[in-house]
Structure 1
Amino acid sequence: MARKKAPTRRRFGAIRQYRSGRWTASYRDLSGRLHRSPETFETKTDAGVWLSQIEADLTRGTWMDPDAGAINFDRYALRWVQERGLMPTTDELYRRLLRLHILPTFRDRDLDQITAPMVRTWRTERLDTGIGATTVAKSYRLLKAILQTAVDDEAIRRNPCRIPGAGKENADERPVATVEQVFALAEAIGLRWRFMVFLGAFATLRPEELAELRRADVDLENGTLKITMASPELTSGKRATGPTKSAAGKRTVVLPEFLHTELRRHMAWYAEKEPDGLVFVGEKGAPFRRSTFGRIWRAARATVGMEQGFRFYDLRHTGNTLLAETGASTRDLMVRMGQSSVRAAMIYQHSTAKRQKELAGKLDDRVRTEIGRSRPGGDAPVSGARVVRPS
């Protein structure tokens, strides 16, 4: 390397010229630590401008240690997941997204080496290789969240995930069963699991909530279920039993009256007899298992001619849609669903053509009634109202 000439002293920092003719600059931060420019400059003026920018950042308090981002993304991301205190199912999801879709590209990069063009290329390649758009959106949101924490930690100055709409999921509309189809599924699946089908649809309970429902949670007299715990099954087959995933998940669900007889019969015939016994168990007394129930569910679905894409979880979608169509408010839906998010409840507030026709009919009745009260002679047809033309 060409030798440097003696530095030119300045009020802030120092500038040196190499024998090659190019210039370099150095300065000390507020703690007295020495930093050098990461690259050389063509002129002394360019080096001075760079130092002036650094001095301004230090004065404003916006200066960032240029070495702060020299942190391996792999280690930072895994520590980020560990520090979140996530629910087991979310923890499993994040680690799977990292392992399969994020780390293969960014594992060997430092935080400050990840750029916006690099993120755009990564996302495009994910989509081009046939990975589902929903999975790519989830992966992008996770990457963005991790790097936003890096911004908050002052490890990087700006988040490189800046693609508008890239984290938005546009999942296909889930199928909705009719009431007749729900009853047909309940008949086809057999007496042991019949009530579970009804609760999935008409109480909108999640599978993991059904798996942990216990006799002590059931009020036979009032026909209510107290939901406080859940037992999601991880892909490893291990259960992650614990409180519901949010405070809103703890709720009391009032069953429609037509299910009261079904409730009493199921509790008498199939629920474990201990005060804290499980409500749903298999024929040999084993707890509800997703893998075992899946075979029974698929057979019942085939028996009634339901499409293969209709999942047990879609019963919850069916029930929430029915509630919305009966006039349930967003808040009503949130409480019954156990959701803390208005956005989740709003999914079911879409208006069908049938519902629009009903509303138009009600509006017609209201207008005709009001017109009839205000006109002599009673309920006159609306078409007979006098039209006043503008002058």
Structure 2
Amino acid sequence: MAILQGDWIDPERSKILVGQYVKRWIDQRPGLRPKTLELYRWLLRAHVESTALGGTELGRLTTPMVRQWRSERLDAGVSEITTAKAYRLVRAALNTAVDEDKIIPRNPFRVKGADKETSAERPVLSVGQVFALSKAVPDRYRVLVLMTAFLSLRWGEAAALTRSDITEGAKNVRIGKSLLEIVGKGLVVAAPKSRAGVRTLTVPEAIRADILSHLELYVDNRPDAYVFTGVKGNPLRRTNFTKIVKWRMLTASVGVPGIHFHDLRHAGNLWASKSGMSTKDLMARMGHDDMRAALIYQRATDSAERRIADDLSRMATEYREGRSSA
């Protein structure tokens, strides 16, 4: 028998290649959403099977080899975010190799900090900027911008909305599905990102009339008619929308260059956090079953509160010291 890092292993079982094992692990994962499955398979093809890591036997893999693989990915120009995603994918698969399949005694994916991805902080749109964007897009997409921001919708959730999802008077919107664009399959209707994604949202009264007007102008009377469609009436694809509205030029024209469509949801989440909602209520609004995302927005609000308190303290100090007459 062979020895790996001081533990006995089955030399035959551990000869399976990393790429082969991860592929099998992905194929056997139950309940993966189509978009997640697509991402995992792409990460496997682009960043595991195409590298020396993918052709390495599990029993011969070491942490220094993992560290080298990660370094080579970054040196090749792969972003830190993508590299971290690939790292976490293989680590998760190899955790199964250790804990369930007993192929290897210890997971060599133990590179400190390799699983972390640091995304640049996204800008926060103001209410005025969102309305400016809604006026700048073609009229049939004006309400798409407003609903995405004021209801904190994901793109797929907004694209999947049908007339029956909007209650009488546009008082509420029911979110129960998502429209995903999958390579090789086209548009696919799937369940929301998590169980918490199934939710009913109260529409701010200020935009209800806009929604009702949109339904009258652009949506068939059939209950299953999509609320947002392309100019030919087909379900709305994200790539087509970006081209139709000339998103990059449009955002620059209203003074918010570089804004992503997802930043509309980001803005809505932050607005909601400033309304004094509890963490649980904010999670429900956002459609998250993990409180970490909600806490991020609440911490951002806390930071704003501290800045306000600091400013008020400065004003009080200046008054007490006779440096202000206010």
- Answer yes or no: same fold by TM over 0.5: yes
Corresponding position: 1:146 with 2:96: no
Distance 1:357 1:123 in 2: 39
State the TM-score, normalized to the length of structure 2.
0.88
Could you say what secondary structure the match of 1:216 adopts?
A: helix
Higher relative contact order (CA 8 A, sep 6+): 2
Structure 2 residue 45 is matched with structure 1 residue 95: no
174, 180, 194: which one aligns with 1:232: 180
Contact persistence 1:134–1:169 (CA under 8 A): yes
Aligned match of 1:281 in 229, 234, 238? 229
Equivalent residue, structure 2, for 1:355: 305
Q: Does 1:328 align with 2:277?
A: yes
5+ residue gaps, structure 2, are 314-319, 322-326
Residues 109-135 of structure 1, C-alpha deviations (whole Å, 9 max, x = no match): 221111111001111111122211111
The answer to whether structure 1 residue 119 and structure 2 residue 66 are counterparts is yes
Across the aligned residues of Structure 1 and Structure 2, the Cα RMSD in angstroms comes to: 2.5
For the Cα contact (< 8 Å) 2:16–2:58, is it kept in 1? yes
Could you tell me which runs of 5 or more consecutive residues in structure 1 were left unpaired when the two chains were aligned.
Answer: 1-36, 40-53, 58-62, 364-381, 384-391
Please give the alpha-carbon distance, in whole angstroms, between the structure 2 residues aligned to 1:362 and 1:269.
49
Q: Quick one: which of 312, 316, 322 aligns to 2:261? A: 312
Contact 1:325/1:355 (CA < 8 Å) preserved in 2? no
Structure 2 letter corresponding to 1:130: G
- 1:178-327 correspondence to structure 2 within 5 Å: 178-221=126-169, 223-236=171-184, 238-295=186-243, 296=245, 297-307=247-257, 309-327=258-276
Alpha-carbon distance between aligned partners in 2 of 1:211 and 1:119, rounded to the nearest angstrom: 40
Q: Contact 2:169 / 2:212 at 8 angstroms: preserved in 1?
A: no
Q: State whether structure 2 residue 19 is matched by structure 1 residue 74.
A: yes
What is the SS of the residue equivalent to 2:188? coil
Q: Is the 8 A contact 1:231 1:240 kept in 2?
A: yes
Measure, in 1, the Cα distance between the counterparts of 2:253 and 2:21.
50
Between the aligned partners of 1:337 and 1:107, the Cα distance in structure 2 is 37
- Offset of residue 316 of structure 1: 0.4
Q: Taking structure 1 as reference, are residues 281 and 38 closer, same or farther at Cα in structure 2, changes over 3 Å only?
A: closer
The alpha carbon displacement at 1:329 in A equals 2.3
Provide the C-alpha distance between the structure 2 equivalents of 1:362 and 1:263, rounded to a whole number of angstroms.
Answer: 40
Q: How far off is 1:246 after superposition?
A: 1.2
Q: Taking every aligned residue pair, what percent have the same amino acid on both sides?
A: 42
Question: In the aligned structure 2, how far is the partner of 1:234 from the partner of 1:306?
Answer: 30
* Aligned match of 2:76: 129
Q: What's the TM-score once normalised by structure 1's chain length?
A: 0.74
Q: 1:316 & 1:113 partners in 2: Cα distance?
A: 45
- Give the 3-state SS of the residue equivalent to 1:158 in structure 2: coil
Tell me, what secondary structure is at the counterpart of 1:194? helix
Q: Distance in 2 between the 1:220 and 1:159 partners? A: 55
Q: Deviations over 1:183-226 (max 9, x none)?
A: 00000002210100001111010110111101111113361000
Shift of 1:65: 3.0
Deviation (angstroms), 1:138: 0.7
Task: Look at both structures and tell me which one has the larger radius of gyration over its CA atoms.
Answer: 1
Q: Do the aligned partners of 1:272 and 1:281 also contact (CA within 8 Å) in 2?
A: no
SS at match of 2:227: coil
* Larger relative helix fraction: 2
Match of 2:117 in 1: 169
